[in-house]
Amino acid sequence: MSSFSVEKIGLQDSQQFSKLFLDYLAQQEQVQPLYTFYPDLAGLEAAIEQRSSQPINRQVLVNRLQDQYKNMPASNLVQKNISLLAKDTTYTITTGHQLCLGTGPLYLILKTLSCIKLCEMLKQKHAAKDFVPVFWMASEDHDSAEINHFYVFGKKYTWETIQTGAVGRFNTTGIAELLDTIKDIPEWLKEAYQSSATLAEATRKVMHHLFAEYGVVVIDGDDAMLKKEFTGIAEKELMSQAALGAMSKTNNSLEAQGYPVQVNPREINLFYVKDSIRERIEKQGEFFTILNTDIRFSTEEIKVELAQHPERFSPNVVLRPLYESAILPDIAYVGGPGEIAYWLQLKDVFQTYNTFLPVIFPRMFSGVITRQQYTKLEKAKVNLAELFLNEFDLKQLIVSRSIQEDISIESQIKEITRAFDSITEIAATVDGSLQSWAQAEKAKALKQMDDIEKKLRKAEERKHEDLIKSVLGIRDKILPNGKLQERQESVFTFLVNDEALIGKLYESLDPCTFNIQMCCYE
Residue 64 has pLDDT above 70, yes or no: yes
Give me the amino acid identity at 216: V
188 to 195, 208, 264, 503: CA distances (angstroms): 10, 11, 40, 18
Q: What is the mean pLDDT of the chain?
A: 93
Rounded to whole angstroms, how far apart are CA atoms 130 and 82?
11
Q: Which of 17-21, 240-244, 323-327, 410-414 has the lowest mean pLDDT?
A: 410-414
Rounded to whole angstroms, how far apart are CA atoms 477 and 473?
7
pLDDT at residue 319, as a whole number: 97
Q: Which of 52-56, 217-221, 415-419, 490-494 has the lowest mean pLDDT?
A: 415-419
Rounded to whole angstroms, how far apart are CA atoms 204 and 217?
9
Q: At what angle do helices 371-379 and 465-478 cross, to 10 degrees?
A: 140
Rounded to whole angstroms, how far apart are CA atoms 221 and 227?
7
Pick from 120, 152, 8, 153: nearest CA to 514: 8
Rounded to whole angstroms, how far apart are CA atoms 238 and 41?
37
Pick from 397, 374, 394, 372: nearest CA to 384: 374
Strand order in the sheet with 287-290: 296-297, 287-290, 277-284, 270-274, 313-315
- Under 8 Å between Cβ of 36 and 26: no
**What band does 94 get if pLDDT is binned at 50, 70 and 90?**
very high
**What band does 2 get if pLDDT is binned at 50, 70 and 90?**
low
Strand order in the sheet with 330-335: 217-220, 130-137, 90-97, 330-335, 359-362
Rounded to whole angstroms, how far apart are CA atoms 493 and 13?
27
Pick from 280, 362, 354, 283: nearest CA to 317: 280
Q: Give the tens place of pLDDT for each residue, 430-486.
A: 776 777 787 888 888 888 888 887 887 777 667 678 888 999 999 999 999 999 999
386 to 402, 463, 485: CA distances (angstroms): 15, 21, 15
Pick from 134, 46, 60, 149: nearest CA to 99: 149
Angle, alpha carbons 349-355-358 (nearest 5°): 90
pLDDT at residue 441, as a whole number: 84
Mean pLDDT of 99-122: 97
pLDDT at residue 461, as a whole number: 67
Residue 8 has pLDDT above 80, yes or no: yes
Q: What are phi and psi of 359, to 5 degrees?
A: -65, 135
Pick from 499, 508, 515, 510: nearest CA to 209: 499
Rounded to whole angstroms, how far apart are CA atoms 201 and 87?
27
Half-sphere exposure of 254 (CA within 13 A, CB side): 24
Q: Across 114-123, 267-276, 495-504, which has the greatest mean pLDDT? A: 114-123
Rounded to whole angstroms, how far apart are CA atoms 412 and 406?
13
Rounded to whole angstroms, how far apart are CA atoms 405 and 306?
78
Q: Where are the alpha helices (DSSP H) in 212-272?
A: 224-228, 231-240, 242-256
pLDDT at residue 405, as a whole number: 52
Residue 423 has pLDDT above 90, yes or no: no
Pick from 357, 356, 380: nearest CA to 470: 380
**What phi-psi label fits residue 369: left (phi over 0), alpha (psi between -120 and 50 degrees) or beta?**
beta
Pick from 168, 84, 169: nearest CA to 134: 84
Mean pLDDT of 215-219: 98
| Structural Rg of the chain based on CA atoms | 29
Q: Give the tens place of pLDDT for each residue, 143-176.
A: 889 999 999 999 999 999 999 889 999 999 999 9
Q: Where are the alpha helices (DSSP H) in 52-198?
A: 58-68, 76-84, 107-125, 175-179, 187-194
pLDDT at residue 399, as a whole number: 81
